[in-house]
Structure 1
């Protein structure tokens, strides 16, 4: 692509950079002045110079240390906020599921009917609904309780006993307020793991029937959200804590201790300086103190919205600041060495004040130039001057290093353009031309291919032009800094944020899309189908007699079976834009944009044959003795009136109808003998209504 050079050549000659002309020594034409009466001023000036240099070094040290500290604290705060968002979304999703169950009037009516007439058929409907909560929504347990907290019914039959005392307290509050409630993270002898409980109240009119008690294993759903960290740190960890009276309870497991979650309680002492105690006392943001190991740590504390939980992310300060301290000590050593050299030069000047004065002045000038060069190298900053008339850059030694050109050489405009990365070249020429035309400042970041090794580097340029009416109007002077490492750090943090966002929508067992990702994609594709007038198909897939497979072969083999089925489904789908998701338990779903019933049926048959081809042994399965699947197919075509109305509710209802029809077709396929594909029809609704307990 030809490159046009605009407005970069109308500059009068002015080639010496600012770092090359303002430090020339001024020497009297009559020779050096006699120092006989002022020799004592030299030591005094040397001492004052050392003090000034020491003050400057101390100020620079503090500024750089504060800058590094802000960068590290900001990175830790970003990680903490991402994890807080993940935990809050997890709580909100669970509370939303409990609210949906509490608003289900049909389920409440079924509970009322069973309480009045506890017949087996009425109990079977309730058990199947509770079993669906466990299998499809990932709950460890779902139990029906009466208003006093007595256990009545579970997925496997009738129950006896009471809920734990904290859960009964939450039940009373939930029934009094007529809204779902969470019991928080708890431990109880009834469960061998820390759990999070939710209560969905049920009413018969205004009369409370009881509630559904939902139990979630925190080890598999909540704690993994705290384990992800952007680097292989040996000390970093995130803690979920809660203040309970005069104690702080650790709700999540600790990385550096073997205590199980919810077993470690720490007395709350506001003056202890422990970041967890400070967070429990109301402190938020960046904290410094000693953790439960007695190690000095940097921490960030935030509250989880909608709960009493606090999330504290921390890392040992030794590990967090070791690299910055190493660089600062190196810079301090260089500056201290220069200070010693300067003091030695002052002593030499004092000892040889008469006949070596001129030579000493030259040495001091050399030392000052060397100090400037070292300071530029430590900061990776170089200086340059551009002569628009000659189209030549005159650069300092550090600028030569940054661009990879030999020392004490200039850089022509054509050479600079050839170095600029092809993707940034047109933009940079535009910015330089605009700045020259407007006589304004230039601020830009761009990439170059360094001349010495053709390595790509990121540069930041800051330049100023002289007054349009002054003698410097054709001169551009500025600085150039290598910011490659900073850009790489920013890109790494951005990749970590993207990885966290993606992890929320991936099923950890099968690596397929999860229920959340499927719901989002269905909403997106339905809106697109409304705009384009194209059909949208959904396949609901169930592994036949999977519970019997688990009972016979064990849960480890069951997990391997689900992984194999998931791989076969994703491999056999084969069309870009199709979404394969794990719907829950042994159920999968496949979303087929633009597919009608015939196309969807063909894809379903291909998937069914792909699973049969796996040949996974299933002694309690169908007649062939291998693992098979049943598939329900539904396809909807948006109507013209739905497109014109544009009401959001219409799209939501039709998307729900797509799930309902595919689910009904699936149950019809299972009723007809399993290992087959069924396209939705009116008979499927009848099959779903009359389905026996063994099919649901």
Structure 2
């Protein structure tokens, strides 16, 4: 009875840990996805703040108020909406008054929360975040950012960027590795004495940011625990009053909490059914043994021996049934005879007929070739050191050639009062558990890869490019080698989209991206979609001249596609313009002695490559330009048509 109960308790705890660990892994992956989404948006706002061309254009328009000076600003705002998936992009003055949008001048003021964030952003000279909000200006929950703009030290105002959370943020919470009927993830935030549900609820129709509850407790006990400071695994009731298993984590850099949960009834039903069956059998066995003890005490001596034998046989049958329910068998290894003495369940696990013996050679032949050497070493050490054995390994059963995972727990013991080497233990088939863990790991790997891949072209996205730039810069600094970047823009792509339609535009971007990838010849080079119709290529170890030759090869590869472009220029086909930059990192800064960071490298590389790209556009497009002094003139006084 005690052995069966111990097996039940151990298996119940193990099942619970597996399920809790799986839910925690999903929660962490979704937290990482939300954090990456937020960091990407912050990076885009920082790029707008650092855009000297945009600040200069805004300063000129603020002075003249001429409609012609507003055109490049409207085009820049429109590009933010079209290429970076912002729902709205607006110019505002330092007091938060709306000035200009993609479609023309605006009137009115930003909401109060945005005006407060604007004052802080201008004071700190860095982008500000408003977070998830609802306001009468928009019919949807939105995430707002403010990118301040300056002329020297004088604040000009800011670009107010608005993101529809329904299309960009909320889908990150809907990705789950299985078809669960009750599982969901939701964002919540404490605001004063209330907790606000920021994301849609799977089982209620409340719109995001409309459902609220008191911070000290309310309709959802797990949310109350999380906002009170609890992290990790939680048990309680959710907003439906259902018992749930939940995991809570904070999203870095925010006041948001991400809670992933699943109904306990769904999470533990099958595991509990098997374990309660094993416990019921053990409890029944205990009751029978207790009743047998009372009866044996009353029986006469001549009947006691017979009754004891009957009870013992019944005990063994119940024990065997309990083993089958728990999928656990026991064995004894006799080192002198070199055989395993197996219970019926242990024999079934190894694919052997009935209860009996298994020779050492027979067991070795079953071991998976990749595990055989390690398992022989571990078992030998346990026998030699008389220590406990806790291992997992694979076997290929001779009966059906199936590959199965085994978990073995064994202890060293003596037999018949003599020093006789012997191991006694249990064996359990854990194949299904290992498969579930491997599936979860594959899901984790796929989700992490998905965050760094552009869904349209299947190239690396901007997040992946930024990571490669930081890594390659440090490697180039240590090796004393150059680092080159190509900024590529499809010529007159807006005209192509307007003429042929967005579906044809998407196919054009896919074809251009594939042509760029095919034309690259070195391992380590990175081809990425930078945004919209812009691509970028990172060339570690390439000088400016070498990078320019690569740019020319890529330009010819795109021309070789011969994609018709009736609104283009020249030959009437799709072409690209390429800006080329190459920087030789220094080991130490001359003045401060601090190593130049990857962020500084990215800023310098992208700034020079952008300037060279503007120069290529100015000189007629369909060409590659290596960064030089003449490119700085374009940066300081760009023609309006290039903004």
**TM-score range for the pair, normalised by the shorter chain length:** 0.7 to 0.9
Deviations 1:598-651 (A, max 9, x none): 654554445444444555443322344443322333445667999xx9963076
C-alpha distance after superposition, 1:559-602 (max 9, x if no partner): 34333433343344365433221101110112234455565455
Contact kept in structure 2, 1:136 and 1:587, CA below 8 Å: no
Distance in 1 between residues matched to 2:107 and 2:91, nearest whole Å = 11
Q: 2:106 aligns with which of 159, 168, 173?
A: 159
For 1:142, the equivalent position in structure 2 comes to: 89
Question: 1:31-50, aligned counterparts within 5 Å?
Answer: none
Match of 1:291 among 231, 235, 239: 239
Instruction: Tell me, yes or no, if the aligned pair for 1:241 and 1:250 is still in contact at 8 Å.
Output: yes
Confirm or deny that 1:664 pairs with 2:619: no
SS at match of 2:419: coil
**1:587 and 2:534 are equivalent in the alignment:** yes
Match of 1:236 in 2: 183
Q: Which has the higher contact order (CA 8 A, sep 6+)?
A: 1
In 2, are the aligned partners of 1:284 and 1:300 still within 8 Å (CA)?
no
Q: For 2:111 and 2:286, how far apart are their aligned partners in 1?
A: 72
Native 8 Å contact 1:138 1:585 kept in 2: no
Counterpart pick for 1:315 among 262, 269, 274: 262
Pick the aligned partner of 2:595 from 648, 652, 670: 648
Matched, 1:387 2:334: yes
Q: Is the 8 A contact 1:465 1:472 kept in 2?
A: no
CA contact (8 A) 1:135 1:584 kept: no
Name the structure 2 match of 1:187: 134
Distance change >3 Å, CA 403–CA 68, structure 1 → 2: closer
Of 552-561 and 448-457, deviating more is: 552-561
**Mapped partners of 2:480, 2:564: distance in 1:** 44
Deviation of 1:502 (Å)? 1.8
Distance 2:623 2:60 in 1: 35
User: How far off its partner does 1:513 sit?
Assistant: 1.1
Contact residue 278 and residue 326 of structure 2 kept, 8 A: no
Q: Secondary structure at the match of 1:489?
A: helix
CA contact (8 A) 2:483 2:541 kept: yes
Alignment partners' CA distance in 1, 2:516 and 2:121: 42
TM-superposed CA distance for 1:517, in Å, is: 0.4
Deviations 1:270-305 (A, max 9, x none): 55442475257626341421434x654433333334
Q: Does 1:219 align with 2:166?
A: yes
Mark the runs of 5 or more structure 1 residues left unpaired by the alignment. Answer: 1-52
Whether the 8 Å CA contact 1:463–1:479 is kept in 2: the answer is yes
1:414 to 361, 373, 376: 361
* Alpha-carbon shift at residue 226 of structure 1 (Å): 0.9
**Change over 3 Å in CA distance of 1:332–1:640 after alignment to 2:** closer
Cross-structure match for 1:509: 456
Say if 2:397 is the partner of 1:446. Answer: no
Alignment of 1:249-288 (within 5 A): 249-257=196-204, 260-262=207-209, 264-268=210-214, 272-275=218-221, 278=224, 282=228, 284-285=230-231, 286-288=234-236
- SS class of match (1:591): strand
Write out per-residue CA displacement over residues 502-556 of structure 1, whole angstroms, 9 at most, x where no aligned residue: 2221223332211110111122233334455555443222111122233344444
Change (3 A) 1:424 1:434: same
TM-score, normalised to structure 2, is 0.84
C-alpha contact (below 8 Å) 1:616/1:626 kept by paired residues:
yes
Contact 2:329 2:346 in 1 (8 A): yes
* SS of structure 2 residue aligned to 1:674: coil
Which of the pair has more CA radius of gyration? 1
Shift of 1:259: 5.2
Distance in 2 (alpha carbons) for counterparts of 1:425 and 1:337: 41
Aligned with 2:41 (options 86, 94, 97): 94
Query: What residue in structure 2 maps to residue 372 of structure 1?
Result: 319
* 2:26 aligned residue: 79
- CA distance in 2 between counterparts of 1:463 and 1:351 reads 40
| 2-structure distance, mates of 1:281, 1:474 | 57
Aligned length: 639
TM-score if structure 1 supplies the norm length?
Answer: 0.79
- Deviation, 1:236, is 1.5
Q: Is the 8 A contact 2:394 2:406 kept in 1?
A: yes
Instruction: Please state how far the C-alpha of 1:100 moved relative to its aligned partner.
Output: 6.0
Q: Give the 3 Å change call, closer, same or farther, for CA 191–544 of structure 1 in structure 2.
A: farther
CA distance in 1, matches of 2:507, 2:284: 64
What is the CA–CA distance in structure 1 between the aligned matches of 2:13 and 2:380, rounded to whole Å? 37
Q: Describe the shift of the 1:690–1:272 C-alpha distance in structure 2 as closer, same or farther (beyond 3 A).
A: closer
2:380 is the counterpart of 1:433 = yes
Seen in structure 2, the aligned counterparts of structure 1 residues 257 and 241 have a Cα distance that, compared at 3 Å, is: same
Shift of 1:314: 2.2
Alignment of 1:325-404 (within 5 A): 325-331=272-278, 334=281, 358-404=305-351
Superposition deviation, residue 452 in structure 1: 1.9
- State how far apart, in whole Å, the 2-side matches of 1:466 and 1:362 are: 27
Contact 2:126 2:148 in 1 (8 A): yes
1:144 offset after TM fit, Å? 2.4
Deviates more, 1:413-422 or 1:253-262: 253-262
Query: In the aligned structure 1, how far is the partner of 2:598 from the partner of 2:121?
Result: 33
- SS of equivalent to 2:473: helix
Asked if the contact 1:80–1:301 (Cα under 8 Å) also holds between the matched residues in 2, the reply is: yes
Partner Cα distance (1:95, 1:276) in 2: 30
- The whole-number CA distance in structure 2 between the counterparts of 1:350 and 1:436 is 43
> Map of 1:488-567 to 2, 5 A cutoff?
488-532=435-479, 535-567=482-514
Among 616, 619, 630, the alignment partner of 2:577 is 630
Query: For residues 572 and 319 of structure 1, do their structure 2 counterparts lie closer, same or farther at Cα, with a shift above 3 Å needed?
Result: farther
| CA shift for structure 1 position 103 | 6.7
* CA displacement 1:363-409 (0-9 Å, x = unmatched): 32222222222233333333333333333332322222222233344
Q: Retained in 1: the 8 A contact 2:367–2:394?
A: yes
Alignment check: 8 A CA contact 1:287 1:301 kept:
no
- Post-superposition offset of 1:154: 3.9
Taking the aligned partners of 2:78 and 2:580, their CA distance within structure 1 comes to 23
